[in-house]
Chain A
Amino acid sequence: MKKAIFTFFAAALSFNVAFANVGEFELNEEKLMAEFADLDAIDALVEEGNFTLAQLSDENPVMAASLSDNPLMQNFSIDDMDWGSFAWGFCCWPIGFFVVAINKKKDSDQKLSFWIGMGVSVVLGAIGSIGGAL
């Protein structure tokens, strides 16, 4: 009896999971247009003038100010910090190097968190040493 009940609930769960995607493939076109309205306008201006960001700053400083100047470098934010990896870098980077930095199972955010932790440790260590010497 228990088996039958379990099978029923397992089947019901799998049914729910399998059909949970109905409607997930709908795109809200209005929201999409609203989301990119500003960027589409900037894009049109850049396309027309064949500008770089520096040239756009001269042409339209307000528009240029809303744009990121180095997007690939800004993909990482404090929200992406993996504090465990940070701790490895901060507290014990020689072991953390093997546990995080060259570990293929760790993702880029974890590796970057490790290096940030290590950098902070080095900077604070240097400040402490200078302070101690004075």
Chain B
Amino acid sequence: VSVLRVVRAGARTSVEDLGRAHTAHAGVPAGGAFDPVALVAANRLVGNPDDSAGLEVTLVGPELEHRGEGRIAIALTGADFRARIASPAGDERSLRRGVVALLSPGERLRLGAARDGARAWLALAGGVAVPRLLGSRSTCVAGGFGGLHGRPLHSGDVLSLGPVASDPSAGSWPHAAEPPRAPDVTVLRILPGPQMEIFPAEPLSALESTLWDVDPRSDRTGLRLFALDPAGRRRLAGIPGVAPEGTTLGAIQVPPDGSAIVLGPDRPVTGGYAKPALVARADIGAVACLRPGDRVRFARIGLEEAIALVDQREAGLPPKAKP
């Protein structure tokens, strides 16, 4: 059995897979990796099925020590956390993103503070072996269940891994080495939201013409954005709410104060704020990698283009692991 000890938990590290299905009627969010494509890429590299549970790390990564037997295939995708592997003798080697590495017994995987972006996904061969609850191993903090004891990791926790499904891949995921984040302003592509028919065109153009700042209170429920220019804020303030309705990943809620919240995987399943637009699925990985203080702009695209972008991103994935 492969066992890892959490030497340092990092700022927020949680067990995530691809999330839940058919649980919204019970108020349970889908959850799962903020960027599912990045987790799938990491899983395929280590030979796991796509929905194996890995770790999502945020802003400051964890330090994990291999306390079991045999070597563990690992792969990291997402932001650059200056990951390296330290031997018991004190030698360090760096872990490249998007390719497989092997962790030997006694070695430690050390992640530092994110140098670009905000999140990364770590796949471990065999997957994190926690019980599946409501169809998933993802951590549901709002419900206090799933993942490891229904909460992010703490220092001192111990993670067991499941049986290894197949050999690791010799391939790579180039996207991991190229953070989707632009140096100055991240442009998120958006589609019109469900209430655009009842709103004037104004909110969408106001969203697009405003420069946004990422608030530190952002988390997996949503990325909070504030308009940097007061005119933009005024144009979006006071939009009336709607009867509470189901929410989607990436939906942009505009509360009456004129701020914007891009909903994440742990969002409440229903919400009553107006949603003039939503972030295209191909750019959810970019949303996951935004950090407090980052600048954001929105740019409208069409549905066909959005679907093509999803296909394009998924076409770049390494091949599925063969059992």
Q: Do A and B bind each other?
A: no
**Which residues of A are interface residues toward B (Cβ below 8 A)?**
none
